[in-house]
Structure 1
Amino acid sequence: MAEHNESGKNAEEQAAEWLKSKGYEHLESNFRHGHAEIDLIMKYKGLLIFVEVKYRSGTGFGYAEEFVDATKRKLIIKAADQYIHQIDWHKDIRFDIVGVYKDRHGNLNFKSFEDAFY
């Protein structure tokens, strides 16, 4: 696996643990539907939450939330629609972005963008 893929996978695992520490329930990772993928599917306070995780080793090229473009959002929504249908969900949903940033000391920091798009 390429190093950037390994970093991304590790960031997704760390983001899931971070969200669980805040009371979220982890339902799925890397849910795929066609070409679309949802990094994390969580449940929190009655909401079904679809989370796109973006890893950045720095902010020189931009922030995590800037890397979820319209095409990526459409793919995530398409996969979410499939998941909602698959589990027969009839309550509210939310789309979040979690930025995972590595500081100059190698520590990971997290920034959550709740209700980032729809």
Structure 2
Amino acid sequence: MGRIDLGKDGEKLAVDYLLSRGYKILEKNFRTPIGEIDIIAKHGEYIVIVEVKRRMSENFGNPEIAVNYRKQEKLKKLALFYLSKLGKEYPVRFDVIAIKDKQIEHIENAFY
């Protein structure tokens, strides 16, 4: 499986996981001029920005390690872009879904 297929498969696993836990999926692969958000969901009152990382082996470390400070800052900017389009204020949460093989770890409030 190639890197892109691996990522798309991981995002599908993440969407299924979130739906099974009562999340409403608002957007998948939300593209902006400055980047992309993997999944935007609503859970309770929160808009949840979800970054999905998948690894098939531990050669490059755990998947969540890839959501470094630089990636976090970019996701914050992307979230502001998305929220500005809604015309209403919502509390926001940043989650990471890390998938190793088919094992899912959901890290709520991964950063802020």
TM-score (norm 2): 0.93
Give the direction of change, closer, same or farther, for the CA distance of 1:91–1:11 in structure 2 (3 Å limit).
same
The equivalent residue for 2:111 is 117
- Post-superposition shift, 1:60? 3.5
Runs of 5+ in structure 2 lacking a partner? none
Q: Percent identity?
A: 34
Are 1:59 and 2:58 counterparts? yes
> Could you report, residue by residue, the CA deviation over 1:18-62 in whole angstroms, capped at 9, with x for unpaired residues?
110011111101112223211000010111000000001022421
Return the alpha-carbon distance in structure 1 between the equivalents of residues 34 and 58 of structure 2.
28
Q: Which amino acid aligns with 2:44?
A: K
Partners of 2:87 and 2:65 in 1: CA distance: 32
Q: Distance in 2 between matches of 1:64 and 1:87?
A: 31
Shift of 1:89: 3.3
Could you tell me how far apart the structure 1 residues matched to 2:34 and 2:83 are? 17
User: Pairwise CA RMSD of aligned residues?
Assistant: 1.3
Alignment of 1:51-90 (within 5 A): 51-90=50-89
Matching residue of 1:105: none
Counterparts of 1:1-118 in structure 2, within 5 Å, are 3-102=2-101, 108-118=102-112
* Structure 1: tracts of 5 or more residues without a match: 103-107
TM-score (norm 1): 0.89
The one-letter code sitting in structure 2 at the alignment partner of 1:12 is: E
